[in-house]
Amino acid sequence: MHAPAPLVWSLVGNVRWHEQLIPLTRIEAPDRVTRRGDEIVARSAVALVDRMVTTIVRSSGEAATDPRWARWATFAKLGPILLGEAHIVVRARGHDQTLVVWAEDVRFARDSPALAAPLDLSLALMSELALRRLAQAVESR
């Protein structure tokens, strides 16, 4: 993304702000950058509930110009629909360049092998859309 990493993290690291990134989703979470132990409830398409807790938040580099500047958050998916982990990584690639990785390693809480491929595809599409919307938001600031 063409934006400073701290700006990118201030948005994508605030899980409540994900309402701006993921269609038809409302999120209950602290309105700040996530911290270890934060409890998150996302409701998508009104009926789908996704409960999470932030399990890890890591950082390196303090100054926005530090080439080692990075932030990483891991979220445990607790159900009732999805189980597994999601990760968001933000790394500086120069003063105005940022690499963002949004990855989900999840499965349905009820064993549904036939739905694994559609779930993977839908999460990949959702992540791609969220990252496009994030890029538009930070690049317009």
**Residue spans per domain, the chain:** 5-139
State the 10-residue block means of pLDDT for the chain, 141 residues long.
94 95 93 98 86 97 84 96 95 90 90 83 90 92 83
Q: What is the pLDDT of residue 140?
A: 86
How many angstroms separate the Cα of 14 from the Cα of each of 34, 45, 88, 137?
Answer: 6, 21, 11, 14
Q: What architecture does CATH give domain 5-139?
A: 2-Layer Sandwich (3.30)
Q: What is the pLDDT of residue 108?
A: 86
